[in-house]
Structure 1
Amino acid sequence: MNQLHAMYSLIRRELWEHKSLWIAPAVTAALFLVASVWGFISLVSNPTAVEQFNQHVLPQMTGDRAFDVAHGMTRASAFTIYAVMVVVLFFYALDCLYSERRDRSILFWRSLPVSDTLTVLSKLLVVLLVAPVIVLLVGLALEVLGLLLAPILVMGTDMSFGDYLQPLAALSALFGMLGDMWLLGLWFLPYFGWLFLVSAWARKAAFLWAVLPPLGVALVEWVALSSREFLKMIGHHISLPFQNAQQQDFGFRTGDLNVEASAAEITGLAGFAEPAFWIGLAVGVAFIAAAVAIRRYRGETA
C-alpha cells in the first residue's frame, strides 16, 4: 500500500511540474471546438444550406450510418489530440530526468524514502497510462460541450438533427481509442526508453544527444555501406502498428451544399502477435533499466 501511495504521489508530482501534459491536449480540443462552432454557425446562418441539410443529408444520417459517422469522426478528433500529446511526451521524457539535476531538485527527492526505480517507473506510467487517460478525459469534455452547444446553436432555425447526435458512438470511440493509445505506448516504448536514458545521462544539450547518435549511425551506415537499413528499420517499426488502419470517408454533396466528414478509423492495430512488438518492448525495457541505473549511481547535478 505504501508503494501504491508513493506511486500516486509521484504521478501527481509529474502532472504538477509538467502542466503541458494536460494544457496541450486541452488547448487542442478548444481549437477543435472553436472550429466546429464556427462551421456550425456558418451553416445555420445560411437558410439554403439548412434546407439542403434537412432534405438530403439527415435522411442518410440515420441508424447505423449515423453511428458510424459519429464514431469515426470522434476517433479522428481523439487521435489528433493524441498526436499532439505524443509530441508533448517526447519533450517530457527527454526533460523529466534531466531537469531535476539541472535545477538540483533531485537533492530534495532523494531525501525522501522513494527509490530511483519507483521514480523512473512513475514517469514511465505517465507516458504509457496517464497520458492516454488525459486524452480520453479531454475528448469526453469536448463531446459533452459539443452536445450542449449544438441545440443552442440551432435555436431559432429550421435545422433538425435526426440521428446526427450519437453520444453512445462517441463514448464507444473514445474508450476504444484508450486501448489503442495504451497499445501504441507499448509500441513506442523503445523510443520513449531511449529518451529516458538520454535524460538520465546527458549533462547538457539533451535534445542533441537524443537526436544526433541515431542520425550519426544512419550517416555512418550510408557512407560506409551505401545503405539506409537503420532508418528503414525505425520507420518500419513506427509505421507497422498502422498498416491495418482503414480510411473511412463519409460524404454528402447536394446542390449548393457540400457536407463531408472524413475520419481515419484506426482498426486492427498490429500488436502482440508481431515479433517486432516484443523486440521493441525488450529494447525499451533495457533502456529504462539503464536510465534507472544511471540515475542511481551518477552525480546529483547535470
Structure 2
Amino acid sequence: MIRQLQTLIRRELWEHKALWIAPVVTAALLWVATFWALASMVASPEGVSAFNEHAVPELAGEGASQMAHGMVRAGIALLYLVTLVVLFFYVLDSLYGERKDRSILFWRSLPVSDTLTVISKVVVALLVAPLIVIAIALILELLDLVTTAPLMALGTDLGYWDFLQPGAVIMALLESLRDMWLLGLWYLPFFGWLFLVSAWARKAAFLWALLPPMGVALAEYLLFRSIHFLSLIGEQFALPFKNMAENQFGFRFDTDRGVSEIQTSTAELTGLSGLAEPAFWVGLALGIGMLAVAVAIRRYRGETT
C-alpha cells in the first residue's frame, strides 16, 4: 500500500508540474526583486548612510536572528499563498480531469483502489505541497547567502557573518511547515468541497464549485436579509490570516475602528492553539465527510464524462 501511495504521489507531481513550477517562479521573482532593491541601495551613498545609521544598530545582538527568522517566514508565506491558488485548480481538476481525458480507464485497470487514489491527491495537497514550499524556501535562503549577503557585507557596515543565522532559519522553516500543515487541515472543508465537485461535475467544474455557495448566500439574503452563511465561509477562510496579521506582524483587527498597530509578537501563524477552536473540528468532520462522498462517487460512477 505504501509503495502504491508513493507511486500515485509521483504521478500527481509528474502530471501537475504547476505544483512546483509556480512556487519556483515566485521564489525567482522574489530573489530578483530583493537583489535589485539591495543593489540599488548599495549603489546609493545616501541609501547606505541611512541604512548604516538606522538599520545596522537594530541588527545588533539578537536583531540579526530575528530579522532572518522574520524574512524566512514572510517569504514562505508568500510562496504558500501562490501555492494555495495552484492547489485550488489542482484539486478542482484532480478527479474531473481524469474523466475528461479518459485516463481514469487506465488507472481503473490497475490494482489501485479509489480510496487510495483520492488519498494520494489529498496527501499531495495537504502534506507534499508544503514540503515543496519548504524545499524551495531553503534553496532561496542558500542563494541569498551566496549573492545578497556578500553584496550587503561589501556595501554596508554589516559583516557576512551577520547573515549566517542557521538556528533562526531552521526554526522558521519548521514553524512554517507546521503552520502550513495545520492550515491545510483548517481548510479541509474547502478542499473537501472541491474534491466533491471534481468527482461529481460533468462539465464546468469551476462554475459548480462557486455557484452553489453563491446561490445559498443569495437565497439567504433575499429570504432573510442576512449574510450568516457568507460570513461563516469568510471567517473560516480568513481566520488564519487574521491571526497571522495580529500575532506575527503586529496588527489588531477591530470591526469598529479598523486596523490598529500593536506591539510585535512572536506567536505563530496558526499555532497549536487553533486546534482548540470548535470550528476546526467541525470543519475537519465536514471535510472528511465530503472526501468520503467523493470516493463513493468515483467508485460507483460508470460514465467517464
Considering the TM-score relative to the shorter chain, is it more than 0.5?
yes
Match of residue 95, structure 2, among 82, 91, 97: 97
Q: What is the aligned partner in structure 1 of residue 130 from structure 2?
A: 132
Write the letter of the residue equivalent to 2:229. F
Change (3 A) 1:188 1:268: closer
Please provide the CA RMSD for this pair. 2.1
Larger relative contact order (Cα-Cα within 8 Å, sequence gap ≥ 6): 1
Distance 1:268 1:190 in 2: 17
Count of residue correspondences: 288
User: CA–CA distance in 2 between the matches of 1:57 and 1:227?
Assistant: 50
CA positional deviation for 1:158: 5.6
Distance 1:167 1:36, change over 3 A: farther
Is 2:287 the counterpart of 1:295? no
* Structure-2 residue corresponding to 1:23: 21
- Distance in 2 (CA, whole Å) between partners of 1:165 and 1:179 is 23
2:116 aligned partner, one-letter code? L
Please tell me whether residue 70 in structure 1 is matched to residue 71 in structure 2.
no
Q: Distance in 2 between matches of 1:46 and 1:199?
A: 54
**Partner amino acid, structure 1, of 2:301:** R
* Distance in 2 (alpha carbons) for counterparts of 1:106 and 1:267: 39
Match of 2:289 in 1: 286
Q: Which residue of 2 aligns with 1:252?
A: none
- Contact 1:61–1:164, Cα closer than 8 Å, also in 2: no
Cα pair distance change 1:154/1:277, threshold 3 Å? closer
Partner of 1:241: 240
Amino acid at match of 1:138: I
The answer (yes or no) to whether the contact 1:76–1:264 under 8 Å persists in 2 is no
- Matched letter for residue 26 of structure 2: T
Query: In the alignment, is residue 185 of structure 1 matched against residue 184 of structure 2?
Result: yes
**What displacement does 1:242 show?**
4.0
For 2:202, the equivalent position in structure 1 comes to 203
1:168-179 matches, within 5 Å, as 168-179=167-178
Distance in 1, matches of 2:104 and 2:243, equals 44
Q: Distance in 2 between matches of 1:53 and 1:98?
A: 53
Aligned partner of residue 299 in structure 1, secondary structure: coil
Contact 2:23 2:136 in 1 (8 A): yes
Aligned partners of 1:141 and 1:173: how far apart in 2?
14
Alpha-carbon deviation of 1:300?
Answer: 4.0
Determine whether 1:87 maps to 2:68.
no
Any gaps of 5 or more consecutive residues in structure 1?
250-261
Letter in 2 for 1:286: G
CA distance in 1, matches of 2:53, 2:163: 13
8 Å Cα contact 2:96/2:198 also seen in 1: yes
Taking a change above 3 Å as real, the CA distance of residues 154 and 60 of structure 1, as seen in their structure-2 partners, is: closer
Q: Does the Cα contact within 8 Å between 1:106 and 1:300 map onto a contact in 2?
A: no
**Whole-angstrom CA distance in 1 between matches of 2:65 and 2:149:** 19
| Structure 1, 36-45 or 57-66: larger mean CA deviation | 57-66
Query: What percentage of residue pairs aligned between the two structures are identical?
Result: 57
Is the deviation greater in 64-73 or in 287-296? 64-73
1:97-139 deviations in whole A, cap 9, x for unaligned? 0000000000110111000000000000001100000110011
1:272 to 275, 288, 299: 275
What per-residue deviation string (whole Å, max 9, x for no partner) do you get for residues 177-200 of structure 1?
A: 000000000000000000000000
TM-score (norm 1): 0.89
SS where residue 249 of structure 2 aligns? strand
Judging by fraction of residues, say which structure has more helix: 2
Shift >6 Å, 4+ stretches: 262-265
Aligned mates of 2:207, 2:38 — CA distance in 1 = 44
Gaps spanning 5+ residues in structure 2: where? 252-263
Shift of the alpha carbon at 1:236? 1.6
Deviation by residue 1:47-90 (Cα, 9 ceiling, x = unmatched)? 33224433442222022122112211211110011011011000
Partner of 1:232 in structure 2? 231
TM-score calculated relative to the size of structure 2 = 0.89
Is the contact between residue 98 and residue 206 of structure 1 (CA under 8 Å) also seen in structure 2?
Answer: yes
3-state SS of paired residue (1:143): helix
Alpha carbons 2:149, 2:163 under 8 Å: kept: no
Is this contact kept in 2: 1:75–1:264, CA < 8 A? no
